[in-house]
Structure 1
């Protein structure tokens, strides 16, 4: 049986992941005005362009991150981010509960 603390950890981290994702995208340099010069996003975009012969492929990770940074997360992306956050938090909560006894 899963303890209440493990469930609370999963719910809390899933919620936090959804709330933090837009902030993290902005901090990386993915924004409404495009990729910020000199940012982590600019470095990622440059690397992707070099790897693809000069352009960033539509549908690539960089394109998806820029889209999310500009317009926000889609419903599907929000579900994925929340699910991954909840799974990670639940796993940490479960492991922690095993050490507590």
Structure 2
């Protein structure tokens, strides 16, 4: 369960470090480079549903760490219940 909670709780921190923020894309960030490459590859626009667009949506959602932790705990418990746990 701890691994699931940790993974979900770390998502906002990792996305923020990459440049995906609630206020938009941070200048000169990894995300800015990804967005530029995606736009060039698609003729000037980023395709809806692409990895870059999806990560930007998650980053801009600005979910609170407590909400993510709660969702991670619930998901971990559900998967342990569905697939069993040896401990």
Residue number in structure 1 paired with 2:44: 54
Distance between the aligned counterparts of 2:2 and 2:43, measured in 1?
A: 42
Question: Shift of the alpha carbon at 1:34?
Answer: 0.8
How big is each residue's C-alpha offset from its partner over 1:2-26, in whole Å with a ceiling of 9 and x where there is no partner? xxxxxxxxx2211100100011111
TM-score, normalised by the number of residues in structure 2 = 0.69
Superposed counterparts of 1:17-96, under 5 Å = 17-72=7-62
Q: Matched residue pairs, number? A: 69
For structure 2, list consecutive stretches of 5 or more residues without a partner in the other structure: 80-87
Instruction: Give the CA RMSD over aligned residues.
Output: 2.3
Q: CA deviation at 1:69?
A: 0.5
Higher relative contact order (CA 8 A, sep 6+): 1
**TM-score, structure 1 length as denominator?**
0.60
Structure 1 residue aligned with 2:85: none
Large movers: runs of 4+ above 6 Å: none
